[in-house]
């Protein structure tokens, strides 16, 4: 019998990948027809995912999105999950494939993501982020921000940026590297993608930090910058975020360093967005705002250095 003929066609369409269903069947040692209640989740910026039910429990299957094979090292991602294993930091991962990036995680009922405009949500999530940073976990790979900017640009394959002043903006952002290096105090496992959508607040109030595919060795203060720019915060909101993380006291030099990271990370994700857009995936306002962070926060750094 043709195996596809025994599977509900709507399930295949929802999963968008027969191989994903076969993977689930193998992981759970369950007949594929017993994988039910399949529903697409909101498409993420990097991956697509769907819910499914098996043996009366609900799970999430992640399938890497367009061009992700060039953006993510799945073996490094698997090493991060080994590093955080047993630390109660992440959602429960039942399966991860270090070759194709398929991942199956437990579904948490009545959980929600962090609301970047709810101060109590932000406070509890940043406390959890700081606890993670204080563990000072180690892996063998790093996420070099400036090298990644160059790498994402190389994926354009010679086509110019959509921004006419890109070369000038890039030069200014790269000039911030000296200040960053002067005030980079520590280097440990950093999430890199610590955005509100990756903080899962459970029904008991505990917080899980999910989606560790970019995680690597870096200055942990990069995570503060990433949270801010994904949330599209203005400068006042950025300062409030920094104050929450540092419990009201952040040295001026470190605050300026985080401003530097916002400029650098803005350009980083702008370049990332330009690559994805060449694949037909558009981010519109988000992409434009990331580029503006590169320009605006370079100017903010300069003003703070003068004053």
Which of 106, 124, 158 corresponds to the end of one domain? 106
Nearest-10 Cα torsion for 260, 264, 265, 271: 160
Least confident of 2-6, 75-79, 129-133, 148-152: 2-6
Average pLDDT over residues 2-21: 52
Q: What is the DSSP letter of 142?
A: B
Judge if 193 and 289 occupy the same domain: yes
Helix, strand or coil for residue 95?
strand
CATH of the domain at 66: 3.30.200.20
d(CA 72, CA 106): 22
CB 31 within 8 A of CB 22: no
Judge if 79 and 130 occupy the same domain: no
Judge if 218 and 71 occupy the same domain: no
d(CA 84, CA 87): 6
112-113/103-106 β-pairing = unpaired
For residue range 233-242, what is the model confidence (pLDDT) as tens digits? 999 999 999 9
CB atoms within 10 A of CB 147: 10
Q: Which residue shows structure tokens 């194709």? A: 100
Judge if 62 and 149 occupy the same domain: no
Residue 39 in tokens = 């529903």
Give backbone dihedrals phi and psi of 158, rounded to 5 degrees, phi first: 90, -10
Judge if 218 and 186 occupy the same domain: yes
Print the domain residue range for 116. 112-306
Residue 280: the pLDDT is 82
d(CA 64, CA 67): 8
Residue 15: the pLDDT is 45
Judge if 174 and 278 occupy the same domain: yes
CB atoms within 10 A of CB 88: 10
Whole-prediction pTM value?
0.88
d(CA 148, CA 271): 9
Q: Which residue has the higher pLDDT, 186 or 80?
A: 80
d(CA 76, CA 55): 31
CB 125 within 8 A of CB 99: no
Judge if 168 and 98 occupy the same domain: no
Residue 211: the pLDDT is 92
Query: How high is the mean pLDDT of the chain?
Result: 90
In sequence order, what E strands does the chain have? Answer: 36-40, 47-54, 57-64, 93-96, 103-106, 112-113, 188-190, 199-201, 207-209, 216-218
Judge if 152 and 84 occupy the same domain: no
For residue range 142-172, what is the model confidence (pLDDT) as tens digits? 999 999 999 999 999 999 999 999 999 999 9
For residue range 272-286, what is the model confidence (pLDDT) as tens digits? 999 988 888 878 789
Give backbone dihedrals phi and psi of 166, rounded to 5 degrees, phi first: -60, -45
Judge if 198 and 252 occupy the same domain: yes
User: Is the predicted pLDDT of residue 58 greater than 50, yes or no?
Assistant: yes
Average pLDDT over residues 114-131: 97
CB under 8 Å to 14, separation ≥6 — which residues?
38, 39, 40, 50
């Amino acid at each position: 019998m043709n195996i596809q003929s025994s599977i509900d066609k709507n399930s295949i369409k929802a999963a968008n990948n027969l191989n994903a269903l076969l993977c689930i069947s193998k992981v759970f040692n369950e007949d594929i027809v017993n994988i039910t209640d399949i529903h697409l989740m909101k498409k993420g910026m990097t991956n697509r995912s769907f819910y499914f039910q098996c043996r009366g429990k609900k799970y999430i299957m992640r399938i890497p999105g367009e061009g992700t094979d060039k953006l993510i090292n799945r073996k490094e991602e698997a090493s991060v999950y080994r590093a955080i294993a047993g630390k109660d930091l992440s959602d429960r991962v039942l399966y991860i494939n270090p070759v194709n990036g398929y991942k199956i995680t437990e579904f948490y009922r009545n959980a929600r993501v962090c609301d970047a405009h709810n101060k109590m949500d932000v406070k509890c999530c940043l406390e959890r982020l700081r606890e993670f940073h204080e563990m000072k976990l180690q892996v063998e790979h790093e996420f070099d921000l400036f090298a990644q900017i160059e790498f994402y640009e190389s994926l354009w394959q010679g086509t110019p940026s959509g921004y006419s002043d890109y070369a000038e903006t890039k030069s200014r952002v790269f000039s911030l590297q000296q200040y960053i290096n002067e005030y980079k105090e520590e280097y440990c496992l950093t999430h890199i993608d610590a955005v509100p959508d990756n903080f899962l607040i459970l029904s008991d109030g505990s917080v899980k930090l999910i989606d560790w595919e970019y995680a690597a060795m870096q200055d942990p203060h990069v995570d503060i910058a990433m949270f801010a720019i994904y949330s599209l915060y203005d400068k006042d909101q950025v300062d409030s975020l920094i104050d929450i993380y540092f419990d009201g006291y952040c040295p001026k030099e470190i605050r300026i360093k985080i401003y530097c990271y916002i400029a650098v990370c803005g350009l980083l994700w702008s370049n990332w967005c330009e690559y994805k857009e060449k694949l037909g995936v558009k981010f519109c306002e988000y992409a434009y705002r990331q580029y503006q962070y590169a320009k605006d926060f370079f100017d903010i750094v300069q003003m703070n250095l003068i004053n």
